Amino acid sequence: MSGGDRIVVVTGAASGIGRRLVDDLLAQGDRVLAADIDGGALDAIDGWPAERVVRRALDVRDPEAWGETLAAASAAFGGVDVVMNVAGVLRPGAIASSSAEDVDFHLDVNLKGVIHGTRAAARLMVEQGRGHIINIASLASMAPVPGLGLYVASKYGVRGFSMAAAQELRPRGVFVSCVCPDAVRTPMLDLQVDYPEAAITFTAPRFLTPEDVSALVLGQVMRRRPVIASLPRSRAFLARLSDLFPAVATRLVAVLDKKGRKVQEKERRAAAAGGPGSSSR
């Protein structure tokens, strides 16, 4: 199905990658149900054509709300072709100082939210006999990143679950893709600037933008429907190497940590000055 013909549900649509995806989908002529836990932020967005977009508050942790959201998309547009699970959270910090609430926060939103969304979409799409579910993970789903242990656990789960769901649903006409980008310049990156534990996040040769991720999703992922798509490939290779050979990862950590802390300091100075290094979402 080409751009302009699709009915797409996007979570995390009020900001960052989710908002960029909605903007680009609408520019192609698609119809979108834009969902976010912050309904007020959704309502404040200007420029979306009312006849082709439905705005809906959604807490991805609520399985019943998921069913209601997909039903609302079907009622408004006549069905659902694609569901994009974009909503995600991150709280940097050492594992020893993390709270039980931190654990629940990451797993409930990042992992269980994706599982609930995939389950709801799968029921609808299996009945239709077609559909595509796109789950946004991270390169942290491939590499054991110290300082982000809870986030890493949730994203490893997203990748593993997506791969299993892809094998199960493909024979029934439903495709599942897991997208794994490197660090993206959004407030999620801002959150990590003041946490030395998250220094390795700042070792990327360049930070991706929401536009980069949207181009990958609306291009390769929606055309070819791969099980896994990573960006950029060079960093994905390094991530997989760290996963396959933990001893190599251990040796790399000290070098990467030193480099990342230098970039963190540069980002802090740029943010304080309001310069181009500051992130926006």
* Catalytic residue list: 151
Judge residue 110's burial from the number of C-beta atoms within 10 Å of its C-beta, 0-12 exposed, 13-18 middle, 19 or more buried: buried
CA 246/CA 251 separation, integer angstroms: 9
* Strands laid side by side in the 31-36 sheet: 53-57, 31-36, 7-10, 82-85, 131-136, 174-181, 228-231
Task: Return the number of other C-beta atoms located less than 10 Å from residue 169's C-beta.
Answer: 20
Secondary-structure breakdown of the chain: helix, strand, coil percentages, each rounded to the nearest 5: 55, 15, 30
CA atoms within 13 Å, Cβ hemisphere of 112 = 11
Q: What are phi and psi of 216, to 5 degrees?
A: -65, -45
The SS3 call for residue 33 is: strand
Structure tokens at 174: 């439903």
